[in-house]
Chain A
Amino acid sequence: GENVEQHPSTLSVQEGDSAVIKCTYSDSASNYFPWYKQELGKGPQLIIDIRSNVGEKKDQRIAVTLNKTAKHFSLHITETQPEDSAVYFCAAFASSNTGKLIFGQGTTLQVKP
Chain B
Amino acid sequence: DAGVIQSPRHEVTEMGQEVTLRCKPISGHNSLFWYRQTMMRGLELLIYFNNNVPIDDSGMPEDRFSAKMPNASFSTLKIQPSEPRDSAVYFCASSFRGDRGSPLHFGNGTRLTVT
**Residues on A close to B: CB < 8 A?**
31-32, 34, 36, 41-46, 49, 51, 89, 93, 97-106
Contact A44 B43 (CB under 8 A): yes
Q: How far is the CB of A39 from chain B (nearest CB, A)?
A: 10
Whether B97 is near chain A, meaning CB under 8 Å from some CB there, is yes
Please name the 5 residue pairs, one residue from A and one from B, whose CB atoms are nearest each other, closest first.
A32-B101, A43-B106, A98-B100, A103-B43, A46-B103
A35 to B104, CA, bound (A): 11
Are B43 and A93 in contact (CB-based, < 8 A)? Answer: no
For B95, the chain A residues whose CB sits under 8 A away are: 99
Query: By the criterion CB–CB under 8 Å, are A105 and B104 in contact?
Result: no
Residues in B lying within 8 Å of A, measured CB to CB: 4, 31, 33, 42-43, 45, 48, 50, 55-56, 91, 93, 95, 97, 99-109
| A99 with B48, Cβ < 8 A, contacts A43-B108, A105-B42 known | yes
> How many Å lie between the Cα of A102 and that of B41 in the bound state?
12
> Provided the pairs A49-B103, A100-B45, A102-B45 are in contact, do residues A43 and B93 lie with their beta carbons within 8 angstroms?
yes
Q: What's the Cα separation between A41 and B56 when bound, in Å?
A: 27
From B31, B55, B103, name the one whose CB has the most chain A CB atoms within 10 angstroms: B103
Q: Is the CB of B33 within 8 A of A101?
A: yes
Alpha-carbon separation in the docked complex, A106 to B39 (Å): 10
